[in-house]
Amino acid sequence: MTIVGAGSMARGIATRALIGGHGVRLVDHSHAKAAALAGDLREEVSGGEVQPSDAIAVEDADIVVLALPWPAGREVVAEYGTALAGSVVVDICNPVDFATFDALAVPPGTSAAEEIAAEAAPGVPVVKAFNTTFASTLRSGRVAGQPLDVLIAGDDEDAKRSVAELAATGGLRPLDVGPLRRARELEAFQFLHMAAQERLGLNWSSAVKILP
């Protein structure tokens, strides 16, 4: 799999992927940053192999995770176009308007995931996942002794199964919450989760969990 963006979420998702035995390529507009993260992960995590790359390696990227701030993921998908054929694109972003921290930066009636899917070449499935898991919690994969829930939305069942397998092999609990339009609620809910951090004294170490 390939992760585009070598920041906090790339570190967390790559940790889970490597533990699950997946090979990981890291792409960032700073090759040095991708190389440094790959070096850290090689020291800290045993399992699959990790290496930096200068481009999305389409030939072996069964999954491409966009670990990028909104709207960079939409731009990357538009730029790569049909080169992403054969890959499942995973959008993890929370398109919060950070200028005000008072609203989402996508209009009502859509979501960042749907906007990204609209840019994707025909036949390239886009899946929303990992937007409700904070980066720091992905390092251990657990909060309060319980595995993190990874809420997954998408319109392609096989693509969702691939992302669920990635989460499950990394020790997480995948939950398919429906079609890609459910990304609207996932993004809005995580905005609430983010906005409540200070008020509730959570320090970005909380998790969203659905219990039966």
Which residues are at the interface with ligand NAP (CB under 6 A)?
4-10, 28-30, 33, 67-70, 72, 76, 92-94, 131, 134-135
Residue nearest to ligand NAP (CB): 7
For the record, the structure tokens of 155 come out as 């319109």
15/177 Cα distance (integer angstroms): 24
Closest distance between ligand NAP and the C-beta of residue 200, in Å? Answer: 16
For the record, the structure tokens of 174 come out as 């995948």
User: Is 23 exposed, middle or buried, given 0-12, 13-18 or 19+ CB atoms closer than 10 A?
Assistant: middle
Closest distance between ligand NAP and the C-beta of residue 66, in Å? Answer: 8
Closest distance between ligand NAP and the C-beta of residue 148, in Å? Answer: 11
Please state whether 109 falls in left (phi above 0), alpha (psi between -120 and 50) or beta: left
76 or 124, CB closer to ligand NAP?
Answer: 76
Closest distance between ligand NAP and the C-beta of residue 162, in Å? Answer: 19
Closest distance between ligand NAP and the C-beta of residue 137, in Å? Answer: 8
Contact call for residues 166 and 190 (beta carbons, < 8 A): no
113 or 164, CB closer to ligand NAP?
Answer: 113
38 or 158, CB closer to ligand NAP?
Answer: 38
Token look-up 């290496």 returns 51
53 or 94, CB closer to ligand NAP?
Answer: 94
**Angle at which helices 31-44 and 8-19 cross, to 10°:** 40
105/1 Cα distance (integer angstroms): 28
Helix (H) or strand (E) holding 80: helix 72-80
Closest CA to 112 of 132, 136, 96: 96
157 or 210, CB closer to ligand NAP?
Answer: 210
Closest distance between ligand NAP and the C-beta of residue 191, in Å? Answer: 10
105 or 168, CB closer to ligand NAP?
Answer: 105
